[in-house]
Amino acid sequence: MSASTLFTLLAVGAVVLLGAAAASQRRRARRLERLLDGTAAKLEALQIQFEHFAPDAVVERLTQDDDRIAPNRREVTVLFADLQGFTGMCDRLDPMDTVRILNGYFKCMSDAITRHHGRVTELVGDGMLALFGALEPNPWQAQDAVLGALDMRSELARYNAELRAHALPELRFGVGIHRGEVVAGIMGNETLSKFSVVGDTINVASRIEGLTRVHAVDLLITEEVKAALDDRFRLRGMPAMAVKGKTQPIVTYHVEGLLPKARPAGTQPAALS
């Protein structure tokens, strides 16, 4: 065998080996790409599922390892809602009916809160905690919370009509709204943690909700919330009451509704006139 033939064979052999290696690498790259795409799709599905358990903005920041989700102080408006007389009602109802009624109630209330830029962050028994201004800055958080609560009142009336039509007992709620500073973020330990808010503001909102039973009204706000409202709301002052954990009695206002709109002399946009 001549040297040139040997060289040619070696060259061909090298080309074949290189080609095989390249094809193998290409197959490997494709496998890795498919694996990566599959993992990304799974992560996306998991993220979507997880959004049922925590606000979507929180889930997204968590997946980005965003340190803005670490607990920090912020001004929020807290709405605390609780069903009145529901425990007694549960004793008389089939548990399946109880769950159905409760799920329907939560759906109506959550929709009303979401329509007004709030977020339901906790469902505890028949109680509900919603926040306004917790996950994104909201300069209109107090009026959003009160308008949301008024919307909840309308939704409850509508839902009660539905329950009545099915011969089921009607519901009554109490809503307390307070504004102040909270610490919000992911709290817990390495085995169990969740997005949560803590602070006196939450406790006060809960106590104010409790006062709705004392004053026999459905919707109470504190002085701090009233201070952030304009004059379109019809409010009625309630006697100051002492609540657990507070040295001073708390002044509250019953939100009766909205005042009739004062309509100025009507003009239309130039495009219409």
Partner 1 sequence: MASTIIDIPWSEPIVPAVSDPAWEAEVKRRAGSVAETYRRIAPVPWLRELCLTIDTSRLQFLSRHLLNVVKMVTSQENSCRYCYGAARAYMRVMGYSESYIGRIERETQHAELDEKERAVIQFCRNLVRSNPRPAGPEREALIRLGFTQPAVTELAFMIAGGCIFNRVTTLIACPPEHAFEQFAYGPLGRMLGLVAPVLRIFGGRTPRAAVAAAAAPAEMENAPFERIFAVLSPLPSAVVLLRTALQDAMASPLLPRRTKALMVGVVGRSLDCNFCQREAMSLSAGDGLTEADVEASLAALGSPKLEPYENSLLTWVRDTVRYQPEAIQQQTRVLSAEIGNLALLEAIGVAALANGVARLAMLLE
Q: Which stretch binds partner 1 (CB under 8 A): 122-130, 138-146, 149-157, 191-199?
A: 138-146
**Which of 2, 96, 139, 192 touches partner 1 by CB under 8 A?**
139
**Which of 54, 56, 62, 122 touches partner 1 by CB under 8 A?**
56
Shortest reach from residue 211's CB to partner 1, in Å: 27
Provide DSSP, 6-70.
Answer: HHHHHHHHHHHHHHHHHHHHHHHHHHHHHHHHHHHHHHHHHHHHHTTTS-HHHHHHHHTT-GGGS
Orientation angle between helical segments 3-50 and 56-63, nearest 10 degrees = 150
Tokens representing residue 89 in the block: 């009602």
59 touching partner 1, by CB under 8 A: yes
Distance CA 219, CA 154 (A): 12
262 touching partner 1, by CB under 8 A: yes
**Which of 67, 91, 94, 136 touches partner 1 by CB under 8 A?**
136
Q: Which stretch binds partner 1 (CB under 8 A): 47-55, 126-134, 182-190, 246-254?
A: 47-55
Q: Which C-beta is closer to partner 1: that of 97 or that of 223?
A: 223
Whether the CB-CB separation of 160 and 239 falls below 8 Å is answered with no
Provide CB contacts within 8 A for 98, sequence distance 6+: 89, 90
Whether the CB-CB separation of 182 and 132 falls below 8 Å is answered with no
For the chain, what's the residue count? 273
225 touching partner 1, by CB under 8 A: no
CA 255, 258, 262 angle in degrees (round to 5)? 150
Q: Which C-beta is closer to partner 1: that of 2 or that of 273?
A: 273
Q: Which C-beta is closer to partner 1: that of 95 or that of 137?
A: 137
Shortest reach from residue 192's CB to partner 1, in Å: 24
Site string for partner 1, 78-117 (x = CB under 8 A): ----------------------------------------
Whether the CB-CB separation of 138 and 132 falls below 8 Å is answered with yes
**Which of 36, 161, 198, 258 touches partner 1 by CB under 8 A?**
36
Whether the CB-CB separation of 213 and 244 falls below 8 Å is answered with no
What are the beta bridge partners of residue 10?
A: none
Site string for partner 1, 9-28 (x = CB under 8 A): --------------------
Sites of contact with partner 1 (CB under 8 A)? 33, 36-37, 40, 44, 47-48, 51, 56-57, 59-60, 64, 135-137, 139-140, 143, 230, 232, 261-264, 266-272
